[in-house]
Chains A and B, each alone.
Chain A
Amino acid sequence: MSIEVVNITKSYKNFTALHNVSLQIPEGELVALLGPSGSGKTTLLRLIAGLEQPEEGAILFHGEDNTNRDVRERQGGVVFQHYALFRHMTIFDNIAFGLAVRNRKTRPTKQEIKERVHSLLRLVQLDGLAHRYPSQLSGGQRQRVALARALAVEPKFLLLDEPFGALDTKVRQELRRWLRHLHEKLGLTILFVTHDQEEAMELADQVVVMNEGRVEQVGSPEEIYNHPANPFVYSFLGRVNLFRGRVRDGKVRLGEAEFDTEWENLRGGEWPAVGYMRPHDVEIALAAQDSKFVQAQIQHISLLGPIIRLDLKRLDTGELFEAELTRQRFCELDLQEKSTVFVKLNNLAFYVEDAEEKVPLPTFIPIQASF
Chain B
Amino acid sequence: MKRKTSRISGFLPGFGLTMGYTIIYLSLLVLIPLSVLFLKASTMSWEAFIGTILDERVLSSIRVSVVTSFFAACMNAVFGVLVAWVLARYQFVGKRFIDGIVDLPFALPTAVGGIALTSIYAENGWIGQFAAEWGIKIAYTPLGIWVALTFIGLPFVVRTVQPVLQDWDLQMEEAAATLGATRWNTFFRVILPHLMPAVLTGFALAFARALGEYGSVVFISGNMPHKTEIVPLLIMTKLEQFDYTGATAIATVMLVASFVMLLIINYLQWRINKFDAAR
Contacts and interface: CB of A to CB of B under 8 A. Distances in A.
Chain A directly contacts chain B within the complex, with at least one CB pair under 8 Å:
yes
Interface of A: 49-51, 71-72, 74, 76-78, 80-82, 84-89, 97-98, 101-102, 133-135, 149-150, 152-153
B30 interface: no
Interface in B238-279: 274-279
B174 A82 contact: no
Given A87-B279, A98-B180, 8 more contacts: A51-B178, A78-B178, A84-B169, A86-B175, A88-B275, A97-B189, A135-B274, A150-B179
Contact size range, B: 20 to 34
5 contacts: A80-B171, A81-B171, A87-B279, A88-B193, A135-B278
A166 B194 CA distance: 24
B36 interface: no
Contacts of A72: 177-178, 180-182
B179 A101 contact: yes
Contact of A101 (B174, B180, B194, B279): B180
Contacts of A81: 171
A68 to B, nearest CB: 15
Interface of B: 169, 171-172, 174-182, 185, 189-190, 193-194, 196, 274-279
B189 A101 contact: yes
A81 B171 CA distance: 9
Contacts of B180: 72, 98, 101-102, 153
Nearest to B181: A101
A89 B194 CA distance: 9
A135 B275 contact: yes
Contact of A51 (B169, B177, B181, B189): B177
Contact of B182 (A78, A84, A85, A101): A101
A85 B274 CA distance: 15
Nearest to B195: A88
A135 B271 CA distance: 12
Contacts of B278: 85, 87, 133-135
Nearest to B171: A84
A51 B174 contact: yes
Contacts of B275: 87-88, 135
B181 A97 contact: yes
A87 B179 contact: no
A79 to B, nearest CB: 9
Contacts of B196: 88
B194 A87 contact: yes
Nearest to B271: A88
